């Protein structure tokens, strides 16, 4: 049980966040975008408020609980989609770079080094400033975040896998390079990709919340945890819960996924396993 705690504790925390995002709207009767100016800045229950608004309201009288549920769905959903697409792109390019040791492989390697050398936040801000803000562009930006990490890891592990005896045997009997990559190389690098997924997911959430906090991400009437955090920063002196509660959700989500990723790395990486 002690050995499983690094997996159990963050797993429970992440499960609670996901359950809150999926079924949290059952805890309130209000819609996330319904406003009532007569109920502006109502305090939460633990500060003397009533159960009509368990977590209080914002400056427009909107139920904070309903907005947190919807914002958590958006933030986790966008981070999940962006992480999966980035992993797929990086894995495919990493396999291609390992197999094609020519101009194509060198071009992919140069693209990996180029993106790794430039802070991605600057790239995202420039793209949003030049092309304008839209949901499709925002999801695309999240999708290409971190692909170079997957590509570099997959390329390095695939190069080592290409020297394994069963891979050389498959190449000798005439198995196509694509089938070798899919049936022999990919399973050997899959554990690295899974671990990197759990490590990249919280970074994608922080990227989304950071851009939304700056007003460059999710736009009204939609909302996200980063947007809620940005909306509440001007009310810290009189309604601090508007920023603290979404900030706490961001902290718990990213921390649980990061701890889960570390635990999975210890389990899946033979060099880090404890005897």
Residue 5 domain flag: no
- The string over 235-273, giving b where at least 16 C-beta atoms fall within 10 Å of a residue's C-beta and e elsewhere, is eeeebebbbebbbebbebbbebbbbbbbbbbebeeeeee
CA distance linking residue 184 with residue 136, whole number of Å: 35
Residue 227 domain flag: yes
Residue 259 domain flag: yes
Residue 10 domain flag: no
**DSSP reduced 3-state for 70:** helix
Residue 69 domain flag: yes
Q: How many domains does the chain have?
A: 1
The pLDDT assigned to 248 comes to: 92
Q: Name the token pair of 249.
A: 């959700």
Q: Name the token pair of 234.
A: 């001007």
Q: Is the peptide bond before 209 cis (omega within 30 degrees of 0)?
A: no
CA distance linking residue 84 with residue 80, whole number of Å: 6
Q: Taking Cα atoms as reference points, which of 207, 218, 225 lies closest to residue 137?
A: 218
pTM for this entry: 0.84
Residue 40 domain flag: no
Mean pLDDT per block of 10 residues along the chain (275 residues) reads: 74 91 88 85 86 87 91 90 91 88 84 85 84 81 87 88 82 82 84 85 87 81 87 83 90 89 72 48
Can you give the CATH number for the domain in which 167 is found?
A: 1.10.3720.10
User: Which residues neighbour 18 within 8 Å (Cβ) at sequence distance 6 or greater?
Assistant: 76
User: Which residues neighbour 216 within 8 Å (Cβ) at sequence distance 6 or greater?
Assistant: 124, 125, 128, 133
The pLDDT assigned to 275 comes to: 43
Residue 87 domain flag: yes
DSSP state at residue 241: H
Task: Please give, one letter per residue, the 3-state secondary structure of 226-239.
Answer: HHHHHHHHHHCCCC
Residue 29 domain flag: no
Helix (H) or strand (E) holding 38: none
The pLDDT assigned to 114 comes to: 86
Write out the residue range of the structural domain in which residue 155 sits. Answer: 46-269
Q: Taking Cα atoms as reference points, which of 124, 84, 86, 88 lies closest to residue 226?
A: 124
CA distance linking residue 99 with residue 173, whole number of Å: 17
Q: How far is CA 58 from CA 51, 64, 237, 249, in A?
A: 15, 6, 13, 17
The pLDDT assigned to 20 comes to: 92
User: Which residues neighbour 82 within 8 Å (Cβ) at sequence distance 6 or greater?
Assistant: 139, 142, 143, 145, 204, 208
């Amino acid at each position: 049980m002690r050995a499983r705690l690094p997996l159990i504790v963050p797993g429970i925390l992440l499960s609670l966040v996901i359950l809150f995002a999926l079924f949290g709207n059952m805890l309130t009767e209000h819609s996330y975008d319904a406003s009532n100016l007569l109920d502006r800045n109502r305090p939460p229950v633990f500060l003397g408020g009533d159960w009509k608004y368990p977590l209080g309201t914002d400056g427009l009288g909107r139920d904070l609980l309903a907005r947190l549920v919807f914002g958590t769905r958006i933030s986790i959903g966008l981070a999940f989609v962006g992480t999966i697409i980035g992993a797929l792109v990086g894995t495919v390019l990493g396999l291609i770079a390992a197999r094609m040791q020519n101009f194509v492989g060198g071009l992919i390697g140069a693209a990996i080094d180029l993106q790794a050398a430039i802070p991605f936040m600057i790239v995202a801000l420039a793209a949003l400033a030049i092309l304008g803000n839209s949901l499709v562009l925002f999801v695309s930006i999240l999708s290409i975040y971190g692909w170079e990490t997957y590509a570099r890891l997959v390329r390095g592990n695939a190069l080592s896998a290409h020297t394994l005896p069963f891979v050389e045997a498959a190449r000798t009997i005439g198995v196509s390079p694509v089938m070798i990559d899919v049936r022999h190389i990919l399973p050997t690098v899959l554990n690295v990709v899974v671990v990197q997924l759990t490590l990249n997911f919280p970074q994608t959430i922080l990227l989304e919340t950071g851009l939304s906090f700056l007003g460059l991400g999710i736009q009204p009437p939609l909302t996200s945890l980063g947007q809620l955090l940005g909306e509440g920063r001007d009310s810290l002196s009189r309604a601090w819960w508007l920023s603290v509660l979404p900030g706490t959700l961001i902290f718990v989500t990213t921390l649980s996924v990061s701890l889960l990723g570390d635990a999975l790395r210890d389990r899946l990486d033979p060099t880090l396993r404890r005897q």
